Amino acid sequence: MTVQPSQFGCVDLGGLDDAFDWRADGFFRALRFDQTTIKGVASDAEAVAELLRRAGVLEGDGPVYHARPNSEIVDAGWSSEASADVEDLDGEFARQLRQGCPADLTACLEALAAQIPAGHGERVELARMRGAELNVSAPQTDSLRRFMPPFSDSDGGALGVDDAATRGWATWAEWVEPRLLVCTNDKSWGEIDRHDRRPTVVRVGEWLRDAVADGDVDRWLVKMFAEDRMFLHRVEGPAGPVYQVGPGTHRAHAARIWGLPYVLARVHVERLAKPLRPRTPLVEALWEGLCRRGLLTAGTDGDRWYLRSVVADWVLPPPAMATQWNRMYERVYPGALQAVTGLTLDELVDADRWVDALLR
């Protein structure tokens, strides 16, 4: 077991001797148990350990990372060469398509293709109907990124601290279940608002049907997921992650509407906690309530909050956003938030009851 020294104490990076590399310019690389390569950049061992924990390389019951003032951070940053090396994921996407495909992927795609109508008009109508059903049963959330650092003046929840350093980020290629895609740039499933409206969602079904008929599913997978890659921002939760879609909106909508079992995407983790300042007295009171319930731990210095752990990032914004995300998470991971918070479903998903529960 190896223990990596840190200016914050000793951070355990044990068990990574043969599969871990961390260069002086900030670049690091580690191999996960399923042979997925995790790449990233980080300024300190605490950030490396937290990124690897979120990627599933290191085990841990909770974050090992604390938000800290810049005065405690030495040599924050990394080289442009390090960032470029992280961005090179060609080999990882090729490996995932060649060796990392889920065992049931081809059989599931063949079964789905058999259900896709032969006629274009029928495909259009089926896609429209399924999109409408999804908008009722699994509506998208608003983007959490708007409420996490760095913040703009229009945000209602909190303000970032201007001199707070970004301490690292990580990325990798991974197969993800589409049910975990909860937010895209177009908020209604099947309705993608572009100046040039492309019929991509419907055509994905057509392409899959043709690929199965031609015995060329492998080529379809390359076209779907490797030539122009989906980009997913990973959001941590107590029972597992969910994802916000960056580039790849059309394929995300197609995956949900046609019921694809998995998508291959670039997964990105960057939102390590920074020092925050609550924007309103209500938000500060809600954070204090989260602390009383053990759902948030943080140190304070004046109006600055230095987060140590939080049950989920989305409990920090104002009540309307927090409860919207709670509602989504309880749908994706039934009962998870109730179990970890001790709150009822009504208290989790109703903004007024959320406030009452945290303030009482």
270, 169 in Cβ contact below 8 A?
yes
Kindly write down the DSSP assignment for every residue of 129-152, as one continuous string.
Answer: HHHHHHHHHSPPPPPGGGGSSSP-
Amino acid letter, 272: L
Torsion, Cα of 258, 259, 263, 267 (10° steps): 110
The CA distance from 88 to 90, in Å, is 6
Question: Which pLDDT value is given to residue 150?
Answer: 45
Question: Which of 179, 207, 202 is closest to 128 using CA atoms?
Answer: 202
Structure token digits, residue 137: 């049963």
Rounded Cα–Cα distance for residues 57 and 31 (Å) = 7
pLDDT at residue 70, rounded to an integer:
77
Predicted pLDDT at 244: 97
Residues in Cβ contact with 166 at an 8 Å cutoff, skipping those fewer than 6 apart: 76, 270, 272, 274
Q: Which of 350, 122, 134, 352 is nearest to 256 (CA)?
A: 134
Whether residue 340 contacts residue 267, with contact meaning beta carbons closer than 8 Å, is answered with no
Locate 48 and state its tokens: 């490396």
In this predicted structure, what is the pLDDT of residue 295? Answer: 97
pLDDT tens digits, residue range 205-228? 999 999 999 999 999 999 999 999
Annotated domain spans of the chain: 1-88, 103-269, 275-360
Parts of the chain with a pLDDT under 70:
1-18, 74-76, 146-163, 193-198
pLDDT of residue 154: 44
At residue 65, the pLDDT reads: 85
Q: Give residue 110's pLDDT.
A: 97
Q: Which of 130, 88, 111, 126 is nearest to 253 (CA)?
A: 130
Q: At CA 151, angle to CA 268 and CA 81, rounded to 5?
A: 40
**Spatial separation of the C-alpha atoms in residues 179 and 249, rounded to whole Å:** 14
pLDDT, tens digit (0-9, with 9 covering 90-100), for 36-82: 999 999 988 999 999 999 999 998 777 778 888 877 776 667 889 99
pLDDT value of position 152: 45
Please report the pLDDT score of residue 1 as a whole number: 31
H or E stretch at 306: strand 304-310
C-alpha to C-alpha distance for 279 and 304, rounded to whole angstroms: 11
| pLDDT value, residue 16 | 66
Q: Quick one: pLDDT at residue 200?
A: 87
CA dihedral over 49, 53, 59, 60, signed as positive or negative: positive
